[in-house]
Structure 1
Amino acid sequence: MSVLLALVVAVPLLGAVLPLLVGRRSRASRLLTGGVLFVQFGLAVAVTAAVSRHGRLSYVVGALPSEVGIGLAADAVTSVFLLLVAGSAVAFFVAVRTEHTAYGDSLWLLLVAGLSGVTVTADVFNLYVFLEISGLAAYALVATGRGASAALAAFRYLLVGTAGATLYLLGVGYLYVATGTLSMAGLSTALPAIGYDSTLVVASFALVAVGLGVKIALFPLHTWKPAAYATSPADVSALLATLVSTIAGYGLVRLTFEVYTFGFLTDVPAARVALLVAGAVSVVAGGILTLRQTDVRRLLAYSSVLQFGLVVVAIGLATPAAVTGALVLLVSHAVSKGGLFAAFGLLASDFDLKTVADYAGFVRDAPLFTVAASVVFASLVGLPPTAGFAGKWYVALGAVAAESWTIAALVVGSTLLSLLYVGRVVETMVFDSSTTDASDRVGGESTVQSHVRADGGRLHSGSLTRASFVLAVAGVVVVALGLWSSDLAAWFHPVVEGWL
């Protein structure tokens, strides 16, 4: 069964060639790409089932020694994020993606292959390779957006992302110089032997953490994200918002506790303090920056700075409850942001609804959309019974267990900050009647009458239907994850317990 780990990466990686073979035949490209994605999702389900039955899986491609081979591994934590990658990719491809080109579909599969590789790799250098595969695909997908702004956003994303990957690679180089191995399992035993407080080890952790911090988009390393997500097509921004920073955050969790281990944070308290401070600054700065936004998709992008700040804070706390909270937050944030970016991106594309003010009184035209959006927003705030609440609750419990009252207050404060920006959006959609006619939203009555309003003044569009459906599904998922969060935590428990 361990060969499944190789297939879950190889299938989308090799499948990325298929759309290019059919050239301009978009229907054939869509069918081939969709088929590959469904196969990969089936493989992810099979990996999860195998982990459930047999525990941790490991595989080395070509049966080479782990020190020189491509090592892959999966445990209970890995399986959830692998399912997230595979499930999101196929869901957005089917429900949101409309413009199919061989080039774009190939990039979609490359992104999925790279992120799947990051999820299952057991080697710190191969993690870099998979980060670069997914990064290059992401840069190119952002560039598929229309206009010069998309090209500029993609170029900035490329520059900043390359800098982050370079810092990560330097950290890996320091690890190899210090230990002579790149295997995660080998590093976890070699590092304590040479001393956690070794200059090489401390420097490597700083470089790795900052490099992944760029990918996560922590403040002040976040500058690439708002423009990249706001100018991308709806399907691209949804996929990136769901997976790119989420998988980078998962990588930081895994490297911190599986490679450097809890002993490093204990022996080098400055590392723990740095994580707590960086996370706290990102929470506060992200909240303030989000409150200043008027463009909905930029608001969503900036809010991720706050959300991932909480994840980093939880890593710094390094208690079982806090680390569990970090993992739950990563999953809940991915589902919430993917649904929101997909829905608002579709309406921005079809109806030019971009700012918060454009959605004034929107509940009259799209009640299902508004209700579903409110539920998903509630998860971002951290309100029960959503998964966002469960994640913040675990982090708060971890702060209390560590007697870190400042961090506990920060978690509560983050909820209040989130409530301010979410409340502004929801209040505008439900109670603001300043825009009484949908024609004001798109700047021309004739255009609106033919494309937006019909039959009693409600919005009628395939895009609105798809947007409402995606948000409704996301809302159901975040509520279900919240209601069964104890089961999700129990699924994570054996791995988290082993880390700490």
Structure 2
Amino acid sequence: MTDALLGVVIALPVIASVVPLVASFWREEIGWYVAVVALVLNAVLIGSVVRSFVSGGILSHEVGGVAVPYGIELALDGLSAPVLVVIAVVSVGTLAYTRTAGPRSNSFYSGYLLLTAGLVGVTVTADVFNLYVFIEITGLGAYALIASGGDGRSAYAALKYLLVGTVGASLYLIGIAYAFVATGTLNMADLSARLADVGYGDTIVLASFAFIIAGLGVKVALFPLHTWQPDAYSASPYGVAGYVSALVSTVAAYALGRVILTVYTPGFLTANPVVSSGLIYFGALSIVAGSVLAVLQTDVRRLLAYSSVSQFGLIVAGFGIGNTASVFGSVVHLFGHAVMKGALFLTAGIIAYRFGVTRLDEYAGVARRVPYAGAAFAVLALSLVGVPPAIGFVGKWYVALGAVRAGETAVAVVIFASTLLTLMYVARLLDRMYYGEAPEAVADGGGGTRVTRGMVALVVLASVAVVALGPSASAVQETLALGEVLGG
């Protein structure tokens, strides 16, 4: 009956999200405690579900006992299991950070729980329409959290994200409407079989794919559809930026990979080489453009945001190549990027709260004043570059290996070039943090929020994790059984 827990891990945070709002009539700031209980319990349930997958293979649950393709199906396989794990870990970790850093309102934690439910739903659904529903729930939660900064910048960033995100969701909905017209089904497995029967070269099938990928490309923030992301990351509170940067685009990228690999399948890409090449080189363009834009930034949070544009380009290119090595590299990088980027934003928050600085030229000497947070930032940033043995290296290595095996040597060259660009802006940032002369304006406590040992311990733990996960990542390749996911 473990498969039934797939529905519980969605329902639990949804139900819990109502509690802080109702409790507001009697008590303020109880939301954090409700969220802790709900998400720790959800993490335990997710652990149970993932253990069942590891021991018994793919899980599937028909909601309400209604048989597919007519009923709603939830599923867990080697593509979704790592994403589900990272949602559980990051949601609890970021929650610990916001205990001090805030925001602390009950409404904030209701939005936090709703966003978590949406992320879990996107990950375990096996129905393309319900994927749309959960993407919208995720968007609603993210808009609310980004706006929780309470100033004009955060409100503008949330509104921009709302408008752009609505366009992306609408494009995705048009795409699944075309797919439904062509096949008469919305269940992913059934849709995959019927698309093959209709023919991969059919105009309506190609149109459905184009709309779906364009819509999800907006959610992932691929170049040039990325314009919402730098504002959202730089204007929201640091705890929100850490959570959103770690998971929202990560889960959207997972959804894009899910549609490409298990709905349309690698066979569709083989039958339409122009589409396959478009995906690969669209991803490669995002790799280069994101890296170049990151080099040009002077605000640390915007630098990290543009870095995400590049990293997700790498992930999409891996999905577009579509062989086992490249897909495994994309999955590893999804997991690693969530931990790395989320922790980098949280560490930037520690520096901002301690010294009141946000710009690169203000970072002079800060690492010497917060040695543990500074060391964690350095380790996380170098993992983002791809320095071995950290997990950032493993993901890039497998995507590049898959590209070479597929004859896409140019993609491997782009990955290497983008690594040099990433090293350029990371080295500049670390040089400033460790070797610059601290200006007089940098003073302890300038950020106005007390930095606790728990906040520092959290980012230090994340930095240790990205190093430890690197050597162990390859060991799970057989467990994930991605060849089975790809139909091989």
- Is the structural similarity TM-score above 0.5? yes
State the distance in 2 between where 1:396 and 1:11 align: 39
Which residue of the partner structure matches residue 70 of structure 1? Answer: 72
State the distance in 2 between where 1:304 and 1:423 align: 17
**1:177 has 2:181 as partner:** yes
Matches within 5 A, 1:240-279: 240-279=244-283
- Judge which range, 322-331 or 459-468, deviates more: 459-468
Q: Does the 8 Å CA contact 1:347/1:467 hold for their aligned counterparts?
A: no
Which residue of the partner structure matches residue 101 of structure 1? Answer: 105
State the distance in 2 between where 1:493 and 1:42 align: 23
State the distance in 2 between where 1:112 and 1:69 align: 24
2:392 to 381, 388, 391: 388
**Structure 1 counterpart of 2:339, which letter?**
V
- Judge which range, 99-108 or 346-355, deviates more: 346-355
**Structure 2 counterpart of 1:56, which letter?**
I
Q: Does the 8 Å CA contact 1:369/1:467 hold for their aligned counterparts?
A: no
**Structure 1 counterpart of 2:120, which letter?**
S
State the distance in 2 between where 1:425 and 1:26 align: 40
Matches within 5 A, 1:270-349: 270-349=274-353
Percent identical: 44
Q: How far does residue 61 in structure 1 lie from its aligned partner after superposition?
A: 1.1
Q: Does the 8 Å CA contact 2:119/2:248 hold for their aligned counterparts?
A: yes
1:228 to 227, 232, 236: 232
**1:50 has 2:52 as partner:** yes
Which residue of the partner structure matches residue 117 of structure 2? Answer: 113
Matches within 5 A, 1:80-159: 80-97=82-99, 98-159=102-163
Which residue of the partner structure matches residue 165 of structure 1? Answer: 169
Taking a change above 3 Å as real, the CA distance of residues 415 and 385 of structure 1, as seen in their structure-2 partners, is same
Per-residue CA deviations over 1:6-42 (Å, capped at 9, x if unaligned) read 1010101111111111106234322222111111111
SS in 1 for 2:436: coil
State the distance in 1 between where 2:150 and 2:110 align: 19
Q: How far does residue 358 in structure 1 lie from its aligned partner after superposition?
A: 1.4
Q: How far does residue 146 in structure 1 lie from its aligned partner after superposition?
A: 2.8
**Structure 2 counterpart of 1:111, which letter?**
L
**1:473 has 2:475 as partner:** no
State the distance in 2 between where 1:471 and 1:35 align: 22
Q: How far does residue 491 in structure 1 lie from its aligned partner after superposition?
A: 2.6
Taking a change above 3 Å as real, the CA distance of residues 395 and 494 of structure 1, as seen in their structure-2 partners, is closer
Q: Does the 8 Å CA contact 1:324/1:489 hold for their aligned counterparts?
A: yes
State the distance in 2 between where 1:198 and 1:65 align: 29
1:187 to 191, 211, 217: 191
Q: Does the 8 Å CA contact 2:262/2:485 hold for their aligned counterparts?
A: no
Taking a change above 3 Å as real, the CA distance of residues 337 and 69 of structure 1, as seen in their structure-2 partners, is same
Q: How far does residue 95 in structure 1 lie from its aligned partner after superposition?
A: 2.6
Q: Does the 8 Å CA contact 1:362/1:429 hold for their aligned counterparts?
A: yes
Per-residue CA deviations over 1:239-259 (Å, capped at 9, x if unaligned) read 101100000111111111110
Which residue of the partner structure matches residue 17 of structure 1? Answer: 18
Taking a change above 3 Å as real, the CA distance of residues 493 and 2 of structure 1, as seen in their structure-2 partners, is closer
Q: How far does residue 461 in structure 1 lie from its aligned partner after superposition?
A: 7.8
- Judge which range, 76-85 or 211-220, deviates more: 76-85
Which residue of the partner structure matches residue 40 of structure 2? Answer: 38
**Structure 2 counterpart of 1:488, which letter?**
V
**Structure 2 counterpart of 1:14, which letter?**
I
**TM-score for both structures, normalised by structure 1:** 0.94
Q: Does the 8 Å CA contact 1:238/1:337 hold for their aligned counterparts?
A: yes
SS in 1 for 2:80: helix
Specify every segment of 5 or more residues in structure 1 that has no aligned partner in the other structure, as ranges.
442-447, 453-458
Specify every segment of 5 or more residues in structure 2 that has no aligned partner in the other structure, as ranges.
none
CA RMSD, Structure 1 to Structure 2 (Å) = 1.7
Q: Does the 8 Å CA contact 2:324/2:482 hold for their aligned counterparts?
A: no
- Judge which range, 63-72 or 375-384, deviates more: 63-72
Q: How far does residue 464 in structure 1 lie from its aligned partner after superposition?
A: 6.0
2:203 to 199, 204, 207: 199
Per-residue CA deviations over 1:156-212 (Å, capped at 9, x if unaligned) read 000000000000011100110000000001011111111001111111111111111
SS in 2 for 1:219: coil
Q: Does the 8 Å CA contact 1:212/1:248 hold for their aligned counterparts?
A: yes
**TM-score for both structures, normalised by structure 2:** 0.96
Q: Does the 8 Å CA contact 2:350/2:373 hold for their aligned counterparts?
A: no
**1:403 has 2:391 as partner:** no
1:376 to 375, 380, 389: 380
Per-residue CA deviations over 1:304-349 (Å, capped at 9, x if unaligned) read 1111111111112112111111111111111000001112124324
SS in 1 for 2:169: helix
SS in 2 for 1:463: coil
Which residue of the partner structure matches residue 6 of structure 2? Answer: 5
Q: How far does residue 295 in structure 1 lie from its aligned partner after superposition?
A: 0.5
Q: How far does residue 494 in structure 1 lie from its aligned partner after superposition?
A: 4.2
Q: How far does residue 496 in structure 1 lie from its aligned partner after superposition?
A: 5.5
Q: Does the 8 Å CA contact 2:103/2:148 hold for their aligned counterparts?
A: no
SS in 1 for 2:30: helix
Q: Does the 8 Å CA contact 1:76/1:495 hold for their aligned counterparts?
A: no
Q: How many residues align?
A: 484
Q: How far does residue 403 in structure 1 lie from its aligned partner after superposition?
A: 2.1
State the distance in 2 between where 1:367 and 1:224 align: 33
2:472 to 472, 484, 492: 484
Taking a change above 3 Å as real, the CA distance of residues 123 and 461 of structure 1, as seen in their structure-2 partners, is closer
Per-residue CA deviations over 1:388-443 (Å, capped at 9, x if unaligned) read 1001110111111112221111111111011011111111111122x254xx12xx
**Structure 1 counterpart of 2:150, which letter?**
R
State the distance in 1 between where 2:342 and 2:248 align: 11
State the distance in 1 between where 2:106 and 2:98 align: 17
State the distance in 2 between where 1:185 and 1:348 align: 47
State the distance in 2 between where 1:114 and 1:497 align: 23
State the distance in 1 between where 2:353 and 2:202 align: 53
